Amino acid sequence: MKRALLTALLSSLLIPVFSQTISVTDRYKYYDGSKVGRLVQILSDESISDVKVNGQKISINKTTNKQTDVILPENIGVSSADTIKMDILNNGIIIKSENLIVPKMRHWTILMYPHAHVDIGYTHTHEIVEFIHKQNLEQAILLGEATKDYPEDARFVWNTEVSWAVERYLATESPEKCKRLIEGIKKGYISVDATYINTHTTASHEPELLELYSPSKRISKLTGVDINTMVIVDIPGISWGMPAIADITGVKNIISLPNAGDRVGRARELDYHPRFWLAPDGKTKLLYIQPGPYTAGMDKRNDFFFKNLGLEDKSKLPVVTRTNNPRDRFIDTYIKQQLPKVEADSSYVFDVFPMAWCMSDNVPIDADLPDAVKSWNEEYAYPHLKIASSKDIVEAYRKHEESIPTVSGDYTEYWTDGLGTSAKYTSHHREVKETLMQSEILSCITGNPIPESEVQDAWRNTIMGTEHTWAYIYPDKPISQRILDVKYGYFTTTDSLAKDLTIKALPSLKNESSSSNTIAVFNTESFVRSGIVSLPNSQFNHVKDASTGNDVPTQILSDGTLVFYAKDIPALSSKNFILAQADCITSLPFPSKTCQISNEFTTVKIDKFTGDIASLVTNGKEFANVKYPFTINTYRYLISRGNYFGASQAYDVELKWKEYGPVVKTLSIVSKADGCKSLTREITLIEGEPFVYIANTIDKLPILEKEGVHIGFSFGMEKPVLRSDIPWGVMELNKDQWRQGNKNWIASQRWVNISDSLSNVTICSLNSPVFEVGDLSANMIGSAEGGHLWRLQTPNLPTVWYWVMNNHWHTNFQLSQEGKVTFKYILNPSNSTYDPSDANMFAVSQSRKLIPAFVNENYSCKAPFELNADKSVQISCIRPINQNKSMLVFLHSYSDKDQSATFVLQKGNKAYESNAYGTIIDKNSSTSFNVPAKGIKVVRIDR
């Protein structure tokens, strides 16, 4: 009796007697049939009979002895935070009254993108990785069939992430199994994404980016399902070239799911911020979405990921992942961390939240997912879960296109530093890609068809070489070397195929048993070219121009190679030369002075103590930065996290002449240097050219301590502007870079240009793509999660360092490298202002050599067409299709204005505007085409 009186008295004073905790959750539930309200949980030691909100009684649900769930009236806390008065009653007596803040939380739909990260060679051998992902395709069909009668949003969909597994399946499995896969794609059980593999887009060449989509285009044609979204996983950063080719490829969207924290710099700032990404032409655009890292589902991975690493017995690999509790370690923790971030972001106006559902790298399907989603949606109204394809995610955002901002520029990639961990292969691979491109152009010039299957295979191996994975997760384990050997095989296969295709594209002697002393020199570019032609182990020593009979300057090099300077080779055609044996000057006596090399245009002076280029004078102007402690072609070796001042340089320098003749002069600088057995730097000048040719051969020692090798170029320019060419575009550093991109190191395609108001220098790097600006800023070790080392700006300094070798990673790449690697650079110093057209023509002509072939005496070659256009409109590549009955001509403009390009065709040929894969856009033929400013136009020519 006394207790009841005391309780009543205290209740009238609104003072609770017992402890109650009220928690507003991040969930909504249904009530009264279809109404939706926020779920509130009350923990109380006292029995609860009723709950009132703002004086209105609401229903309660006693879930345990101490927990009571209530659902707030609808619309509270949805569009804004609300304050409500909540009274908790026991038998009509208020035991707690509280003004309760209900935080804002919209009605979220969570789009779950189920996939397994395709990381070829990282967790298992290549063979096992392929087996896992092909098995996932089969299990996805079974799971799709098993859940086809589930509520729509719980029906299983498997995302391939890339098209590699589908392409491999169709290439290797039985017709019956392939038919079942095609039906599974048609029914929507499997959603194919556009790119072939996860790759370094900034390290790709132009056709390589096009070929990334070719397999998915073939799959699309086979299934009738449109595939227009690229998904890239793990890799932070994407080339500006991807939006540049959106129109010609039909791929209009990118979903990026980067690594959670391994060497990602500021990339994660882009999470949950969709944007329309403008191409360099300022018109073409694609939708870019970065829904956080791909690791959101990895709480579940410990059950199977680590215990199956490296397993090679296919019978012991799990077929799927399935547990007795589908909701165990589900999305609860992740959305509790992430949803409040986007809820609080005023710029995020969407009510969808996409996320990856990936157990880890190269793992089986999570077969629990459909039941987990079904159970969740039965329990909660919101967040509502939907098993989604990339198409679902894209469409959800495109419904609100007006709310998506537009940006431009390059999302400069972070993981291109990995290219320097196996420099022997990546360096040569860059040159092989150019050979492969030339083989396609040669086929169009000569009319000799090359097998399309071999071309596809060559590009497939090319792409697999550029793919982001090299070694096993633990590079010190024995399995890693076997994985590396397979990776190296992609490079050697590409090399072999490119050479074979070139031979097939070239003309051959009518009587193959006969010899010939006539060679045709082929120019694969759309402009007249001159340059060196090399004939190893030649029996001849004299060359004449077949058209004039005039002698051509000729030289026999120290290794027996015959070289001559071929002038004015016509565009997309050839010119004949006659070889002979004669008394002629093929070399000159070596000068006594070894510190200087010069020709009529250029003089280069070498510092005899460091071996660096101390002076570079072209047409009377000094280009070397004589104010700096180093100038041009300087070697620096950096251990661990040191800086420039702790880096060592070459020592014990010896200078000697290697070549000295009427065509070529080469000065050799041999020295010792830390990190290698020896360092040999060769400086070459060619008569008739102002260019400086540099070949640096590093004989590397296999060092396990973290190290970096850098080669520097510093020029004397005031207020310089630095630009780099990228696939299908040009990037001005800082101005054309996203804030979230990498400013510590950058990958170029062929050239870097440094200019001021009076002059410029173009550096063509044949085989080392990654460079730094100003200082040695590529000093990140391991995961590199420390933000203070990541630059916000690229310094405007006239100094470029090529970061040619490193072993900074803790995983994925080999621990050390050894042996000889040659890094080649060609410098073009000019007393004129910067012109992107000139820079690109120079770099392309250096990257794609003049090609000689023995031919019959009367051989002639007519260009397949003539192109009349401003020099700013250049042919990037020419690709034969339809057994060489047609060709695709890719025009790329470096102009700020739209330009007209006119084709003069051979009789009977017709030209049409086309997409990147030969589909005619306008059925009306034409000879004149508009090439948009800084844009691309594809022209199909039918023979």
Query: What does the pLDDT look like over 211-239, one tens digit per residue?
Result: 999 999 999 999 999 999 999 999 999 99
Measured over the CA atoms of residue 428, residue 434, residue 440 and residue 443, the dihedral's sign is negative
Are 749 and 726 contacting, i.e. CB atoms less than 8 angstroms apart? yes
In 576-647, which ranges are continuous DSSP H helix? none
Query: What does the pLDDT look like over 592-634, one tens digit per residue?
Result: 888 999 999 999 999 999 999 999 999 999 999 988 777 899 9
CA–CA separation, 233 vs 343, rounded Å?
Answer: 25
Structure tokens at 195: 């790119």
Measured over the CA atoms of residue 260, residue 266, residue 267 and residue 272, the dihedral's sign is positive
Q: What is the mean pLDDT of residues 192-200?
A: 98
Query: What does the pLDDT look like over 446-485, one tens digit per residue?
Result: 999 999 999 999 999 999 999 999 999 999 999 999 999 9
Confidence label for 728 from pLDDT (cuts 50, 70 and 90): very high
- The CA R_g of the chain, rounded to the nearest whole Å, is 33
Buried-state track 202-211, b at ≥16 Cβ within 10 A, e below 16: bbbbbbbbbb
The confidence score (pLDDT) of residue 513 equals: 53
Confidence label for 10 from pLDDT (cuts 50, 70 and 90): very low
Are 161 and 140 contacting, i.e. CB atoms less than 8 angstroms apart? no
Share of the chain above pLDDT 90, in %: 87
According to DSSP, residue 650 is labeled: -
Query: What does the pLDDT look like over 679-700, one tens digit per residue?
Result: 999 999 999 999 999 999 999 9
CA–CA separation, 916 vs 245, rounded Å?
Answer: 9
Confidence label for 514 from pLDDT (cuts 50, 70 and 90): low
The confidence score (pLDDT) of residue 59 equals: 87
Share of the chain above pLDDT 70, in %: 96
Q: What is the mean pLDDT of residues 13-19?
A: 51
Beta bridge partners of 713: 632, 800
Residue 69, helix vs strand vs coil: strand
The confidence score (pLDDT) of residue 16 equals: 46
CA–CA separation, 744 vs 780, rounded Å?
Answer: 9
Displacement of CA 17 from its chain's centroid (Å): 64
Q: Which helix (H) or strand (E) holds 371?
A: helix 369-379
Q: What is the mean pLDDT of residues 711-732?
A: 96
CA–CA separation, 436 vs 418, rounded Å?
Answer: 23
Taking 70 as the threshold, does the pLDDT of residue 268 lie above it?
yes
In 410-451, which ranges are continuous DSSP H helix? 423-446
The confidence score (pLDDT) of residue 690 equals: 97
* Angle (CA) 623 627 629, round 5°: 110
Token pair 């093929």: residue = 586
Closest CA to 419 of 825, 816, 803: 803
Query: What does the pLDDT look like over 892-922, one tens digit per residue?
Result: 999 999 999 999 999 999 999 999 999 999 9
CA–CA separation, 342 vs 340, rounded Å?
Answer: 6
Query: What does the pLDDT look like over 780-827, one tens digit per residue?
Result: 888 887 677 899 999 999 999 999 999 999 999 999 999 999 999 999
Taking 80 as the threshold, does the pLDDT of residue 302 lie above it?
no
Query: What does the pLDDT look like over 369-426, one tens digit per residue?
Result: 999 999 999 999 999 999 999 999 999 999 999 999 999 999 999 999 999 999 999 9
Residue 822, helix vs strand vs coil: strand
The confidence score (pLDDT) of residue 172 equals: 97
Q: What is the mean pLDDT of residues 819-845?
A: 97
Number of C-beta neighbours around residue 507 at 10 A: 19
- pTM, whole model, 2 decimals? 0.94
Are 388 and 353 contacting, i.e. CB atoms less than 8 angstroms apart? no
Are 291 and 273 contacting, i.e. CB atoms less than 8 angstroms apart? no
Confidence label for 15 from pLDDT (cuts 50, 70 and 90): very low
The confidence score (pLDDT) of residue 307 equals: 85
Confidence label for 303 from pLDDT (cuts 50, 70 and 90): low
Q: What is the mean pLDDT of residues 181-185?
A: 98
